[in-house]
C-alpha cells in the first residue's frame, strides 16, 4: 500500500485489510456468544458504518433483523441550539435487543444522542459495537460494549470513513500524513 492523496491531503496506510477483517471477526464472535437465544436488531449508523456492517453481519450466526438509521442535526429555535433527529427507523424496537453499529467513536456525542433517542422507544437493551475507538478523544461515561480496534487521536480514512465525503470506498484504513 502506498501514500494516497484525497482532495488536498495526503494519507498513509494504517490498518490493513487483513487486520480489519480479523477484528471484525472477533467482534462478531463475541456478539454471537452474548446474544445466543436472542433475536436482536442490528442498527447501522449511516453513512460511515456500511462496510463494517456488511462484513460484520456476514459472520453473525444469530436470527436477526437489520436496519440503517441516520442522525441529522439542525438549528433549533430554543436556547439549546442544535436539535438531533433520528431518521430511517421504521421498525418497532420496543422489547427488542438493539445493537448499534458505528464506524468510529470519537468524542462520543453521536453515541450518547442515539442512546437518548432510542431509549425512549423502550427497547429491552441497547449495546454499541464500533470498529474503531479513540479513547483519548472520548468525553462520555457511556460504556462501549464491543470495540474492534483502539486508535490514537488521529484522523483516519477508508473502510466507510470519509474525508469531506471522499475515501469511503477504500478497503483498508489510512491515517492523515502530518
Ligand atoms: P463522535 O460523535 O465525536 O463520536 O464522532 C462520530 C462521527 O465523527 C463518526 O461517526 C465519524 O463519522 C466522524 N469521525 C470521527 N473521527 C473520524 C476520523 O478520524 N475520520 C473520519 N471520520 C471521523
Whether ligand 1 lies within 6 angstroms of the CB of 84 is answered as: no
Establish whether 106 is a catalytic residue.
yes
- Which residues on neighbouring strands pair with residue 129, listed in sequence order? 101, 146
Task: Answer whether 67's CB lies under 8 Å from 89's CB.
Answer: yes
pLDDT at 74: 78
Whether ligand 1 lies within 6 angstroms of the CB of 40 is answered as: no
pLDDT at 1: 66
pLDDT, tens digit, 9 for 90 and up, residues 82-139: 778 999 999 999 999 999 999 999 999 999 999 999 999 999 999 999 999 999 999 8
User: 35-38: which pairs have CB atoms within 8 A and are 24 or more residues apart?
Assistant: 35/62, 35/97, 35/99, 36/62, 38/62, 38/97
Whether ligand 1 lies within 6 angstroms of the CB of 103 is answered as: yes
pLDDT at 77: 58
Q: 20 CA distance to ligand 1 centroid (A)?
A: 17
Q: Whose CA is nearest to atom 15 of ligand 1?
A: 106
pLDDT at 79: 59
pLDDT exceeds cutoff 90 at 75: no
pLDDT at 84: 84
Q: 33 CA distance to ligand 1 centroid (A)?
A: 28
Q: What number of residues does the chain have?
A: 178
Whether ligand 1 lies within 6 angstroms of the CB of 107 is answered as: yes
pLDDT, tens digit, 9 for 90 and up, residues 50-71: 999 999 999 999 999 999 999 9
pLDDT, tens digit, 9 for 90 and up, residues 4-46: 999 999 999 999 999 999 999 999 999 999 999 999 999 999 9
Ligand 1 binding pocket mutation candidate from 6, 49, 103, 133 (most atoms within 8 A of CB): 103
Whether ligand 1 lies within 6 angstroms of the CB of 133 is answered as: no
Which grid cell is 41? 436488531
Domains and CATH numbers, the chain: 15-151 (3.40.50.2020)
pLDDT at 49: 98
Amino acid at each position: 500500500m502506498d501514500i494516497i492523496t484525497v482532495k488536498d491531503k495526503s494519507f498513509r496506510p494504517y490498518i490493513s485489510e487483513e487486520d480489519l477483517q480479523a477484528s471484525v471477526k472477533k467482534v462478531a464472535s463475541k456478539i454471537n456468544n452474548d446474544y445466543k437465544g436472542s433475536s436482536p436488531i442490528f442498527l447501522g449508523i449511516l453513512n460511515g458504518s456500511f462496510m463494517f456492517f456488511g462484513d460484520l453481519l456476514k459472520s453473525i450466526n444469530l436470527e436477526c433483523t437489520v436496519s440503517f438509521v441516520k442522525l441529522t442535526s439542525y438549528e433549533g429555535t430554543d436556547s439549546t441550539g442544535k436539535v438531533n433527529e433520528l431518521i430511517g427507523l421504521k421498525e418497532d424496537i420496543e422489547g427488542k435487543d438493539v445493537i448499534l453499529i458505528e464506524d468510529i467513536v470519537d468524542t462520543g456525542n453521536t453515541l450518547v444522542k442515539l442512546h437518548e433517542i432510542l431509549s425512549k422507544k423502550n427497547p429491552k437493551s441497547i449495546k454499541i459495537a464500533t470498529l474503531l475507538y479513540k479513547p483519548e478523544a472520548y468525553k462520555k461515561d457511556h460504556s462501549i460494549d464491543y470495540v474492534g480496534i483502539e486508535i490514537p487521536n488521529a484522523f483516519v480514512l477508508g473502510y466507510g470513513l470519509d474525508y469531506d465525503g471522499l475515501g469511503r470506498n477504500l478497503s483498508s484504513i489510512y491515517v492523515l500524513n502530518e
